[in-house]
Amino acid sequence: MILPTLLTFLSALHVSHASVTVYHQAPMAAQSAAANYTAPAAYDPTILNAPPIPNPAPSVQFTLELQSSSQAVQGLSIVQNGPFLGFSIETSVVNQVRELKIEFKHSSFLQVPFLNLMANIGQRAGSVHIRIGGNTQETATLVASIPDGKAIEKDKVSASNPTRTPGLLFTAEIIYMLANISALAKVKWYLGVPFNDTANLRLQIAEVGQAILGDNLIGLQVGNEPDLYSAHGHRPATYSPFDYFGEFGTMVQAINNDANIPAKNKLIGPSVATGPWTPEMVWDTGFISSYTNSLAALAVEHYPDDNCAAMYGLGSPKDPQTEFPNYLNHTAGKSLIAPYLNSASIAQAAGKPLLMFETNSASCGGFPGISDAFGSALWALDYGLQMAYSNFSGALFHVGGQNVYYNVCCFVSPPTNQSTFHKWTIGPIYYSILISAETFGPNGNSQIIDLNANNANAFTPAYAIYEGGNIARVALFNYMTDQSGANSYTATISVGGGQTGAPNGTPAQVKVKYLIAPSVAEKHNITWAGQTFGSTFESDGRLMGNLDVNTVTCDTNANTCQVQVPAPGFALVFLTDSAFSEVTPENPKTFPTTSMTRTLNTATVDPSVLATSNGHSGSDRNKLGSTGKGRANGAESLREVVPGIFVLLAMGLGAVMAGSGIARLGRVHV
C-alpha cells in the first residue's frame, strides 16, 4: 500500500537452492535469547475492549424466508468460485536479504505448515488463489542465475535508490517452487510484471511463468497502484490515467510480439489504490475496450484505514480502541465497496472479472488488537461475502509477516531462529478465507445475496447462497459481544414459501457450523466447527480437535428451522447434505510435520519428492504407521511419512545452516 509492507514470503516458504530463509526484525520487536523468547510485533498482546451492545439493541428473533430456486430471486450475484477469497504476498521479501539467517545448499524446501494451510482451502474451494506482487514487483528482475546459486536476492545496485524500493533479482527456481506448491496444494498464481521502465520492459517473468506454471498462472498484473506512482517518485508529477493507458499499451504490444508468451490474454490492470484516481478515470481512457483481448481481469486495491502513524510516524496517530467499532458492523464492508459498485457493473458489461487485488484491515501493518483479533475474522468474512454479492469476482488479503508490526492477518511463520521450537501462528482472517471456501464450495456455480436480515440491522447481517440454482447455505453473523447470552439471536429460516421437504421446501433438518470466540477482542480461543489452529506458535497448518457440527431439527408443521447465533459468532447453515459434504473433507489432505529429534518440530519437505508423492492424507499417514518410535516426539505426532523426504535435523541455533547445508539434513526411511 502506501508504504510497502515488509513481508516474509520466504519465511512462509523456506526457499532454497542455496538460499534463504529471511527474517528481518520488527521495528519494535525485542529479541532475547531463544529460551526466553520475547515475541516480536506479530505477537503483540494488546487486547481491546469489545464495544458495548448497540442502543437500541437489534431484535434477537427474526425470520428469513428463502426461495428454493434462484430463478425466483431478484438481485443475486454473478456466479462465484470457491477460491473467491485468497492471499496477496508482497514480492519484497528480499528487502530482508541483509538479515539472512539460513542458507541451504543444493535443494529447495517448502514449509509444511504453509502447504497444509493452502491444502485446507484447496480441498474446500477446488483451488487457492495467491498473488505474488506489490510495490516491489515493479523493480524485480528474473535472471538466468545469481552468483552462489541463490534463487532470490536483493539487487545491490538498485538497493540505494531513494524510494527505498529494492530491486530484486530472482531465478526460475522461484517459479519452479511455485509450480511445486501448485502440484501439492492446488494453488493458482497471479504474478506481477515489472513496470518501472516501459522503455526497457523485462518480460522474463511472463515468459518463464507461462512456461513453468502453465494454467496455474492465472494473471499477470501490469502496474501496481499507478495512481500513487508520482507521489512515490516513480513517475513525473504529471502522470495521469492517460499516461498509464499508454504504458499499458506498450506492454500489450510487447507481449503480443513475444513468441515466448503464448497466452496473450492474462493481463490485469489498472489496480488503482483509489487514492488520487478513481477507477472511472481509467475506464474513461478507453482502457477496457482498447485492451479487451489482453485483459484477464480488472482490478482495484484498497484498505479501509491505515496505521502509518504508529508504524512510520506518518499522519495522525489513531487509537485502536476508537477504531475497533468501525470493523464490527455490516456497514464496514458495504461502505468500503460503495466506490466500486459502478466499476463492478462496467466490468460485468465488458465480460471481465473485477478483483480486489490487495486489501486488509489497515495498511501500514494493521492495528494491534483489531487485525489480530476475532472481530477481524467476522469483518473480513462479511466484507468478502459483500464483495461477492456486489459482483466482484475475487479478493486477496495481503499477508504480513511477523516483522510487520501488528500485521498478522492470515498466518505467520516463527522467526527463523525460533522455528525449531515454535510453530506457526494463524491469524483470524485465515479462518475467514477458509470459511468463504466452504460458503461458495468447489463447484464454481454459487450465487450469493445479502438478505438485509433483521430489518437490515448492521449487527446481524445474513446472506443466502445458491449453488447450481438451488438454495444451499445460509451465512449468519452476530457482531455483538455478550457472554450472558442475552444477545444471541435466533434466525427462523423457511424455504419455498411453506412447502415441506427438500428440494423445494424447508428441509427436515439442517447442519450448522459455528465460528466462535468468547469476544470480538479474543486472540487465541477461536474455533470453527469445534476445531482450531490454536494460539500463538501452536499450528502446523492443520485444524486441531474434533469436528463439531450441530444438527438442527426443523419444525415440519411450521416449515421452519431455528438457528441460534451467539454473540459474537458466525453460523454457516447447510440446507442440503451435498452442500455440507462437498466442503467437509473426511480425510483432510495434509502434509504432516516430520522431524527426527526430540525438540525439533518444524520440518521442511523436499518438494520434488513430495510432488511425485502427491501429498499424503492423515489416513495415509496412519496406514504408514510409526517407524520413528523413540525418535519422533514433537508436539504433534511426528512420523516419517514419505520415503525419501529430507527432514531437517537441526534447524536451530548456531550449528545449523551456516554453510554445510545438506549434510545437516537427515533422510527418513520408512
Ligand X SMILES: *[C@@H]1O[C@H](CO)[C@@H](O)[C@H](O)[C@H]1NC(C)=O
Q: Which of 223, 241, 269, 607 binds ligand X (CB under 6 A)?
A: 607
Residue keyed to cell 475496450: 289
Task: Pick out residues in 510-569 that bind ligand X (CB under 6 A).
Answer: 516-518, 525
Q: Which stretch binds ligand X (CB under 6 A): 63-71, 552-560, 574-582, 607-615?
A: 607-615
Q: Smallest distance from the beta carbon of 163 to ligand X, in angstroms?
A: 9
Asked whether position 348 contacts ligand X by CB under 6 A, the answer is yes
Q: Which is nearer to ligand X, 18 or 252 (CB)?
A: 18
Q: Smallest distance from the beta carbon of 70 to ligand X, in angstroms?
A: 11
Q: Which of 3, 34, 346, 624 binds ligand X (CB under 6 A)?
A: 34
Q: Smallest distance from the beta carbon of 68 to ligand X, in angstroms?
A: 19
Indicate the residue whose CB is closest to ligand X: 167
Q: Which residues of 527-544 are buried (b: 16+ CB within 10 A; e: fewer)?
A: bbbbebbbebbbbbbbbe
x/- map, 406-435, ligand X, by CB under 6 A: -----------x------------------
Asked whether position 613 contacts ligand X by CB under 6 A, the answer is no
Grid cell listed for 345: 457493473
Q: Which residues of 608-630 are buried (b: 16+ CB within 10 A; e: fewer)?
A: eebbebebbbeebbeebeeebee
Asked whether position 653 contacts ligand X by CB under 6 A, the answer is yes
Query: How do 462-467 and 470-478 pair as beta strands?
Result: antiparallel
Instruction: Give 309's DSSP letter.
Output: H
Task: Pick out residues in 133-192 that bind ligand X (CB under 6 A).
Answer: 139, 141, 155, 158, 167, 173, 176, 179-180, 183
Q: Which is nearer to ligand X, 29 or 575 (CB)?
A: 29
Q: Which is nearer to ligand X, 348 or 613 (CB)?
A: 348
Asked whether position 484 contacts ligand X by CB under 6 A, the answer is no
Question: What distance lies between CA 379 and its chain's CA centroid?
Answer: 14
Q: Smallest distance from the beta carbon of 78 to ligand X, in angstroms?
A: 5
Q: Give the total of residues touching ligand X (CB under 6 A).
A: 43
What type of residue sits at position 100? L
Contacts 24+ apart (CB under 8 A), 242-247: 242/285, 244/269, 244/270, 244/282, 244/285, 245/282, 245/285, 245/286, 245/287, 245/290, 247/195, 247/198, 247/223
3-state helix, strand and coil shares in percent for the chain, rounded to the nearest 5? 30, 25, 50
Q: Which is nearer to ligand X, 500 or 608 (CB)?
A: 608
Q: Which of 3, 47, 53, 54 binds ligand X (CB under 6 A)?
A: 54
CA-wise closest residue to 574 among 549, 596, 591: 549
Residue count (the chain)? 670
Cβ atoms 207, 149 nearer than 8 A: no
Cβ atoms 639, 632 nearer than 8 A: yes
Asked whether position 481 contacts ligand X by CB under 6 A, the answer is no
| Region for 134 from its dihedrals, namely left if φ exceeds 0, alpha if ψ lies in -120 to 50, beta otherwise | left
Q: Which is nearer to ligand X, 616 or 639 (CB)?
A: 616
CA-wise closest residue to 563 among 464, 639, 662, 640: 464
What type of residue sits at position 556? T
Asked whether position 216 contacts ligand X by CB under 6 A, the answer is no
Q: Smallest distance from the beta carbon of 450 to ligand X, in angstroms?
A: 8
Whether residue 503 is preceded by a cis peptide bond, meaning omega within 30 degrees of 0, is yes
Q: Smallest distance from the beta carbon of 613 to ligand X, in angstroms?
A: 11
Asked whether position 36 contacts ligand X by CB under 6 A, the answer is yes
CA-wise closest residue to 562 among 497, 463, 493: 493
Q: Which is nearer to ligand X, 568 or 628 (CB)?
A: 568
Q: Which of 30, 38, 197, 486 binds ligand X (CB under 6 A)?
A: 197
Q: Which stretch binds ligand X (CB under 6 A): 125-133, 387-395, 543-551, 632-640?
A: 387-395
Grid cell listed for 9: 514470503
Q: Which of 70, 108, 454, 604 binds ligand X (CB under 6 A)?
A: 108
Asked whether position 446 contacts ligand X by CB under 6 A, the answer is no
Q: Which of 47, 78, 159, 350 binds ligand X (CB under 6 A)?
A: 78
Instruction: Give 93's DSSP letter.
Output: G
Cβ atoms 477, 552 nearer than 8 A: no
x/- map, 293-332, ligand X, by CB under 6 A: --------------------------------xx--x-xx
Q: Which is nearer to ligand X, 236 or 286 (CB)?
A: 236
Asked whether position 608 contacts ligand X by CB under 6 A, the answer is yes
Q: Which stretch binds ligand X (CB under 6 A): 32-40, 419-427, 428-436, 622-630?
A: 32-40
Burial of residue 406 (CB within 10 Å: 0-12, 13-18, 19+) is: buried
Q: Smallest distance from the beta carbon of 397 to ligand X, in angstroms?
A: 17
| Dihedral over alpha carbons 455, 456, 458, 461 (to 10 degrees) | 100
Binding site for ligand X (CB under 6 A): 25, 31, 33-36, 54, 75, 77-78, 108, 139, 141, 155, 158, 167, 173, 176, 179-180, 183, 196-197, 325-326, 329, 331-332, 335, 348, 389-391, 417, 458, 516-518, 525, 607-608, 611, 653
